[in-house]
Amino acid sequence: MSKTATALLFKFIMTFAFALITLTFLVDNNAWNWVFGVALVATALNYLVGDLLVLPKFGNIIASVADGVMAALTAYIIDYLVPTAFQTSFTALALFAVLVAVGEYFFHQYLQRSEKVEP
């Protein structure tokens, strides 16, 4: 497995763990498959937008905040599209955004130090 694939797998596991903490434990009715889907979409968006576009141009702090906001926005949009199957609360979304932003801050430091990981 390449270093980039390993980094993406770690990023997904981190996002999924934060989603489980906030979107399953704070909002009782969410099934794991919906939380898994949110984490998968958020990971893809955060990598494509946050890591490849925002991080190189604006730096770690802006990219980390953007990743947190995108993750929470992803969960909110999925809640909006399927309100009976997946639900969020402001508290869960805010905590999810903060946890993802903090996790991404350290993840970006790893990306920038590693020469074998894209970008």
Predicted pLDDT of residue 118: 60
Q: Is the pLDDT of residue 5 over 70?
A: yes
Alpha helices in 46-84 (DSSP H): 55-58, 60-81
pLDDT at 119 > cutoff 60 = no
Q: What is the rounded CA–CA span in Å between residue 101 and residue 116? A: 23
- The mean pLDDT value of the chain amounts to 92
- Whether the per-residue pLDDT at 117 is higher than 70: the answer is no
Residue range 45-73: mean pLDDT, rounded: 95
Q: Does the pLDDT value for residue 93 go beyond 70?
A: yes
Measuring CA to CA, which residue among 60, 71, 38 is closest to residue 119?
Answer: 60
Q: What is the pTM of this model?
A: 0.93
Instruction: Give ∠ CA 53-57-58 in degrees, rounded to 5.
Output: 110
pLDDT in tens, 20-56: 999 998 877 799 999 999 999 999 999 999 999 999 9
For residue 55, how many other CB atoms are within 10 A of its CB? 24
Domain boundaries, the chain: 3-113
Q: What is the mean pLDDT of residues 79-90?
A: 92
Task: Write down the pLDDT at residue 47.
Answer: 94
- Sequence-separated (6 or more) residues with CB below 8 Å from residue 20: 32, 35
